[in-house]
């Protein structure tokens, strides 16, 4: 029991940290929601930038529409759908398909699994070879003497 105590203590500490990090916070303000949504949407003019980061007129107008929708009571999903209805799913910077989110984890797990399998099957260099028996020692001596002869 005393040998596993440090591991148990570390596990409990990590669990407490996770609970603290995942605790429900206060709901975001309209401004925070609008800002978060602007970061999720792609600027039509500068496709690599979010609407939040782009200085173009189109991005500015989209930010204005986001604020108008949020203040008007639209949910985050409704705001996203407003722009998806006009541009298609392309307007979202983050993919909406769950498959796109799962692939990196699947590849990571497969990679860790393959590495683990390779490590387990590889012969350990630290395994000591068994000592030579008396019979083997005698046979080796006889063969060496035969070569010298």
Look at residues 26, 38, 28 and name the one whose alpha carbon lies nearest to residue 79.
38
Distance of CA 21 to the CA centre of its chain: 17
CB of 124 to another protein, least distance (A): 21
CB of 88 to another protein, least distance (A): 5
Number of residues that bind another protein (CB under 8 A): 19
Contacts to another protein from residues 40-79, by CB under 8 A: 44-45, 47, 56-58, 60-62, 64-65
- Give the residue with the Cβ less far from another protein, 106 or 132: 106
Dihedral angle sign, alpha carbons of residues 12, 18, 19, 20? positive
Contacts to another protein from residues 74-113, by CB under 8 A: 83-88, 90-91
CB of 67 to another protein, least distance (A): 13
- Give the residue with the Cβ less far from another protein, 28 or 113: 113
Cβ neighbourhood burial of 119 (10 Å; 0-12, 13-18, 19+): exposed
Distance of CA 70 to the CA centre of its chain: 31
Q: CB under 8 Å to 54, separation ≥6 — which residues?
A: 43, 45, 46
Residues near another protein, by CB under 8 A: 44-45, 47, 56-58, 60-62, 64-65, 83-88, 90-91
């Amino acid at each position: 029991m005393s040998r596993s105590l440090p591991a148990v203590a570390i596990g409990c500490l990590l669990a407490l940290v996770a609970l603290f990090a995942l605790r429900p916070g206060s709901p975001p303000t309209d401004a925070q929601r609008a800002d978060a949504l602007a970061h999720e949407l792609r600027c039509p003019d500068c496709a690599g930038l979010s609407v939040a980061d782009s200085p173009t007129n189109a991005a500015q107008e989209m930010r204005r529409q986001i604020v108008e929708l949020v203040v008007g009571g639209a949910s985050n999903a409704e705001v996203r759908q407003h722009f998806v209805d006009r541009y298609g799913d392309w307007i979202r910077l983050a993919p909406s398909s769950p498959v796109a989110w799962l692939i990196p984890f699947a590849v990571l797990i497969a990679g860790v699994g393959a590495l683990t399998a390779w490590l387990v099957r590889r012969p350990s260099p630290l395994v000591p070879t068994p000592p030579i028996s008396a019979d083997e020692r005698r046979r080796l001596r006889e063969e060496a003497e035969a070569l010298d002869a």
